[in-house]
């Protein structure tokens, strides 16, 4: 999980990018603090009759460009600091792909692996009740994140709709299609990631046929990205989940790996590959490295061993600031999270628009619109990187922070 100094890392990067933007102090200072943060206590009756209290959070970092937008995560190590950090990153991310949203994030400190589905449902409904004054299709739209899914979004929508007295599908995205969810939402982050990655491959003059790829994280984002890249002729040579990492320089049979993972619930023991540690996998030979799980996966201890030409960040904040500097010195082309994994929020925006209009699009149209937005954002960031002679993360920050700052300045200060 994000460490206790993670928000300081956001502030450090904001300070660095301001050397290029030279924002007025009044605007710069506003961008250094979240607009509002809510901490809630969630008493939940467990299956054994005991009432247990969980702590939940919801943060709106900046809403100058529109309603707050951001996911909800359930994890035992969730902290307010982490949620503020992720809300800030969400603010820049929405601006980079030019969505009319501000940035938000939420979470509950809990271990869902030790809870029944009914306990998770009761906790979700209580959480929704406690933050109901914060959320809504015009103010703050929720989405799935770590250890939350479309069923949890359905419970949030139902609870909020019950409070309002009528159905409000636009309060969440990433919900089931039968409740107003969008086609293509489940795979949107992976499709957006691959779209940006292929643009980077093209920019660097590489042929994507037979490029070797290692992916850290074999959940929804990592597994879907593996499928798409394998179909395009790339070799998936390394994979890691929360329990194990595997490597085969000749390429892994993705279908076999997925069947094994579904059966064993882990990559540990998969026979047609070498069992390695996560740190070892980061340093093994590949052309493309995709961190798609937890924060801080690439850090000062393992970044010097990275052999990949491209690092495409499928996860949020997977590279520490120290590691970022090491990768830049090594000449690694880094596709930052706030650009590379923005496909999820792009299709969430499409879902929100469809819910408001009560008019739904075909999946082909959704994919085409997603690709257009991701390609446009990549080219915009690349142009800034080339013009200002900076890395892609700095260029993305210049674009995102600059757009948020412009909206904040034009709206002014009230009172």
Domain map (residue ranges) of the chain: 33-175, 188-340
Architecture of domain 188-340: 3-Layer(aba) Sandwich (3.40)
The pLDDT value recorded for residue 210 is 82
pTM, two decimals, is 0.94
Q: Which residues of 172-211 are buried (b: 16+ CB within 10 A; e: fewer)?
A: bbbbeeebbbbbbbbbbbbbbbbbbbbbbbeeeeeebeeb
* Mean pLDDT score, 347-363: 97
H or E element at residue 40: strand 36-45
* Mean pLDDT score, 82-102: 97
> From CA 214, how far away is CA 117, in angstroms rounded?
33
> From CA 277, how far away is CA 246, in angstroms rounded?
8
Quick one: tokens of 330?
Answer: 């090594």
* Mean pLDDT score, 351-358: 97
Q: Which single residue is written with the structure tokens 């409070």?
A: 163
CB 407 within 8 A of CB 20: no
* Mean pLDDT score, 93-110: 98
> From CA 227, how far away is CA 232, in angstroms rounded?
9
Catalytic residues: 105
Residue 35 has pLDDT above 60, yes or no: yes
The pLDDT value recorded for residue 5 is 62
For the chain, the average pLDDT equals: 96
> What Å distances lie between residue 370 and 135, 284, 315, CA to CA?
26, 32, 18
At 150-167, the pLDDT tens digits run 999 999 999 999 999 999
Residue 172 has pLDDT above 60, yes or no: yes
Quick one: tokens of 118?
Answer: 């009914």
Quick one: tokens of 50?
Answer: 């005991």
The pLDDT value recorded for residue 11 is 95
Other Cβ atoms closer than 10 A to 41: 10
Cα-based torsion angle of the residue sequence 240, 246, 248, 253 in order, rounded to the nearest 10 degrees: -70
Q: The domain 33-175 is classified under which CATH number: 3.40.50.10860, 3.40.50.720, 3.40.47.10, 3.40.190.80?
A: 3.40.50.10860
At 261-270, the pLDDT tens digits run 999 999 999 9
The pLDDT value recorded for residue 209 is 83
Question: Which one has a higher pLDDT value, 290 or 271?
Answer: 290
> From CA 393, how far away is CA 288, in angstroms rounded?
17
Lowest-confidence region among 39-43, 45-49, 229-233:
229-233
Signed CA dihedral, 358, 362, 365, 367: sign only: positive
CB 109 within 8 A of CB 55: yes
CB 322 within 8 A of CB 7: no
Q: Which of 348, 312, 367, 69 is nearest to 193 (CA)?
A: 312
Residue 78 has pLDDT above 90, yes or no: yes
Question: Which one has a higher pLDDT value, 108 or 321?
Answer: 108
The pLDDT value recorded for residue 317 is 87
> From CA 381, how far away is CA 339, in angstroms rounded?
9
Percent of the chain with pLDDT over 70: 99
Residue 407 has pLDDT above 80, yes or no: yes
> From CA 77, how far away is CA 147, in angstroms rounded?
12
Q: Which of 257, 255, 247 is nearest to 284 (CA)?
A: 247
Q: Which single residue is written with the structure tokens 């009761």?
A: 122
For the chain, percent helix, then strand, then coil, each to nearest 5? 50, 20, 35
Backbone phi and psi for residue 26, each to the nearest 5 degrees, phi listed first = -60, -35
Quick one: tokens of 319?
Answer: 């590279």
The SS3 call for residue 387 is helix
* Mean pLDDT score, 236-240: 97
> From CA 299, how far away is CA 318, in angstroms rounded?
8
Q: In the structure, what pLDDT confidence band is assigned to residue 413 with cuts at 50, 70 and 90?
A: very high
Residue 3 has pLDDT above 80, yes or no: no
Question: Which one has a higher pLDDT value, 317 or 38?
Answer: 38
The pLDDT value recorded for residue 218 is 93
At 279-331, the pLDDT tens digits run 899 999 999 999 998 888 999 999 999 999 999 999 988 999 899 999 999 99
How are strands ordered across the β-sheet holding 140-144?
36-45, 51-62, 102-109, 68-75, 140-144
CB 413 within 8 A of CB 108: no
Residue 101 has pLDDT above 60, yes or no: yes
Cα-based torsion angle of the residue sequence 56, 60, 61, 65 in order, rounded to the nearest 10 degrees: 160
H or E element at residue 61: strand 51-62
> From CA 299, how far away is CA 245, in angstroms rounded?
17
Q: Which single residue is written with the structure tokens 């993705």?
A: 254
Over 223-274, what HEC string results? Answer: HHHHHHHHHCCCEEEEEECCCCEEECCCCCCHHHHHHHHHHHCCCCCCCCCE
């Amino acid at each position: 999980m994000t460490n206790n100094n993670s928000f300081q890392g956001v502030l450090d990067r904001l300070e660095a990018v301001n050397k290029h933007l030279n924002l007025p102090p009044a605007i710069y200072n506003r961008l250094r603090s979240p607009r509002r943060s809510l901490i809630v206590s969630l008493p939940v009756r467990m299956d054994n009759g005991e009432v247990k209290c969980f702590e939940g959070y919801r943060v709106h970092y900046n809403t100058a460009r529109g309603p707050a937008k951001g996911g909800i995560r359930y994890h035992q190590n969730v902290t307010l600091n982490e949620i503020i950090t992720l809300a800030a990153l969400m603010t820049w991310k929405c601006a980079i792909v030019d969505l009319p949203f501000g940035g938000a994030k939420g979470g509950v400190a809990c271990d869902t692996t030790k809870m029944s589905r009914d306990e998770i449902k009761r906790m979700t409904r209580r959480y929704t009740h406690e933050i109901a004054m914060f959320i809504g299709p015009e103010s703050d739209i929720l989405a799935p994140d770590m250890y939350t899914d479309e069923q949890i979004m359905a419970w949030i929508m139902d609870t909020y709709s019950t409070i309002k007295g009528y159905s409000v599908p636009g309060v969440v995205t990433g919900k089931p299609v039968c409740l107003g969810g969008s086609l293509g939402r489940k795979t949107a982050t992976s499709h957006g990631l691959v779209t940006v990655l292929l643009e980077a491959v093209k920019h660097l003059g590489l042929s994507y046929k037979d490029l070797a790829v290692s992916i850290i994280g074999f959940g929804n984002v990592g597994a879907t990205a593996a499928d798409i890249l394998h179909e395009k002729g790339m070799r998936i040579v390394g994979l890691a989940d929360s329990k194990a990492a595997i490597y085969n320089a000749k390429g892994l049979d993705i279908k076999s790996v997925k069947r094994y993972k579904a059966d064993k619930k882990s990559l540990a023991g998969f026979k047609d590959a070498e069992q390695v540690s996560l740190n070892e996998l980061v340093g093994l030979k590949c052309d493309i490295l995709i961190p798609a799980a937890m924060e801080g996966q690439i850090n000062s201890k393992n970044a010097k061993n990275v052999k990949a030409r491209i690092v495409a960040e499928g996860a949020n904040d997977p590279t520490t600031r120290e590691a970022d500097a090491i990768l830049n010195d090594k000449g690694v082309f880094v596709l930052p999270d706030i650009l590379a994994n923005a496909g999820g929020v792009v299709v969430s925006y499409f879902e929100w628009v469809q819910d408001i209009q009560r008019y739904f699009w075909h999946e082909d149209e959704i994919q085409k619109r997603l690709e257009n937005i991701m390609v446009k954002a990549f080219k915009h960031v690349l142009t800034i990187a080339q013009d200002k002679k900076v890395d892609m993360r700095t260029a993305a920050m210049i674009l995102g922070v600059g757009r948020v700052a412009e909206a904040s300045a034009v709206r002014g200060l009230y009172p």
